[in-house]
Amino acid sequence: MKRFATLATILLTSVILFTSVSVLAADNSLVNPSEVCTGSQADSAACKGRTTIDPISGNNGILVQAANIIAIMAGVAAVIIIIIAGIRFMTSGGDAEKIKNARNSVINALIGIIIIIVSRAIILFVTAKL
């Protein structure tokens, strides 16, 4: 039960963090530059380029790129943990405690991969709606 509570806390924190960062980082003034390109703002890069792409949360924005990098790093770490746990499992020599620890490592790594996939889906969903 303690593992489930920890997993739920991590998942909920990830969802809140990624959703709030995506929503807060979106600058709607860049979406329609014709409405805000007056006065001192007319010299900004968004107004000069007349772009409607948001560099923060757009299709290839900073948030999406950062999420991709974090997901790749976490995915690689999870795969490495699975490989190490497999080696520990094969070299356990029938010791029940070592087998249990290796199995728990594999399960935790798979849970981590699921969290990575869900968080990426949430990020893509939120940035697509902005």
pLDDT tens digits, 14-41: 655 555 544 444 444 444 545 556 666 6
Neighbouring C-beta atoms of residue 120, cutoff 10 Å:
18
Buried b (16+ CB within 10 A) or exposed e, 39-60: eeeeeeebbeeeeeebebbbee
Q: Specify the amino acid at residue 113.
A: I
Global pTM exceeds 0.75: no
pLDDT of residue 29: 43
